[in-house]
Amino acid sequence: MTFVLVSTMPFDRGIASARRRAALLAVALAAMPGAWAHNVWLEPDAAGGYLVQFGGHAGQREAFDASKLKSVQALDRRGRPIEVAVVPVAGGVRVQPARQAALLAAHFDNGIFSRVGEGPMVEKPMDQHPGATGGVHAVKYHKSIIQWGVVAKKPLGQPFEIVPLAHETPHAGQPLRVQVLLDGKPAGGIRLSWGEQGAPVTTAPDGTATVTPVAGPNQLTAIRRAPVGGDARFTSLSYEYLLAFPAH
């Protein structure tokens, strides 16, 4: 695929500005360890790439099998795709967009876990875990808005997705409307929160909710857990989403 940088600034200034935004995102992700349930996110590195991070409980980041990362997307400000190199590294994965991206997205399948009664979770489907009484298929989605633009409010088609209903950089302390989609349709009753910070809100029947960002980096999370019938491997499906973005 061919990538054309879209920027109103000269090339060097545009790259520098984008790197500053990426650095702010990294600071935010590192500064809020207690706010994470098990999520996946992309953290910029010094070489212009991104390290895929997984974890969050009690601030712990965990190594993972690279095969659990199912896809990474990179788009420019107009929503045009950018090629991404995906390279397994020790304990995870590094991704490198061919050019500066305005938005990155990831799909991570953490697998199926099951347990007997109230015992510990084991990474096996129920039909491979004798005596298992319950199981969960845990799937994670992520989106990082690096540069606001038209691409920010365009649904990507992720099975579970938070979509801002604006394309301009939000202002701290000012309301921002978002919409949660499930299989492309509005999803009401979904809990949104800033990790463990502040009171959560719940989406209306049309999937919308109003949140109030802070200056600098923000991380908005959503969780959906639903029972599953007729599958010998698990009894529930868990979706977790993390939307990261900057605000003025």
pLDDT tens profile 148-185: 999 999 999 999 999 999 999 999 999 999 999 999 99
Quick one: how far is CA 248 from the chain centroid?
21
Q: What is the domain extent for residue 102?
A: 11-247
- CA torsion sign for 146, 150, 151, 154 is positive
Q: Could you tell me which residues come within 8 angstroms of residue 215 by beta carbon, excluding any fewer than 6 positions away? A: 172, 247, 248
Residue 208 CA: distances (Å) to CA of 188, 201, 204, 223: 7, 10, 5, 15
Measured distance CA(111)–CA(94) in Å, rounded = 20
The chain-wide mean pLDDT, for the chain, equals 86
pLDDT band at 195 (very low <50, low <70, confident <90, very high): confident
Note whether residue 3 is domain-resident: no
* Residue 28 contacts residue 244 (beta carbons within 8 Å): yes
Note whether residue 110 is domain-resident: yes
Note whether residue 2 is domain-resident: no
In this prediction the pTM is: 0.83
Note whether residue 221 is domain-resident: yes
How many other C-beta atoms lie within 10 A of the C-beta of residue 113? 21
Note whether residue 4 is domain-resident: no
Q: Which stretch of 62-76, 127-141, 193-207 has the lowest confidence by average pLDDT?
A: 193-207
Determine the average pLDDT of the residues in 60-68: 90
- Residue written as tokens 């895929």? 52
Measured distance CA(42)–CA(80) in Å, rounded = 19
Q: Tens of pLDDT along 214-238?
A: 999 999 999 999 999 999 999 999 9
Note whether residue 120 is domain-resident: yes
Q: What is the pLDDT of residue 58?
A: 58
Kindly state the tokens that stand for 72: 């990474």
Determine the average pLDDT of the residues in 78-104: 95
Measured distance CA(3)–CA(160) in Å, rounded = 27
Q: What is the pLDDT of residue 27?
A: 38
Kindly state the tokens that stand for 62: 């965990």
Q: What is the pLDDT of residue 75?
A: 97
Q: How many domains does the chain have?
A: 1
Cβ-based burial of 230 (10 A; exposed 0-12, middle 13-18, buried ≥19): exposed
Selected residue with higher pLDDT from 34 and 197: 197
Note whether residue 176 is domain-resident: yes
Note whether residue 49 is domain-resident: yes
Cβ-based burial of 63 (10 A; exposed 0-12, middle 13-18, buried ≥19): exposed
How many other C-beta atoms lie within 10 A of the C-beta of residue 16? 12
Q: What is the pLDDT of residue 199?
A: 84
Length of the chain: 248
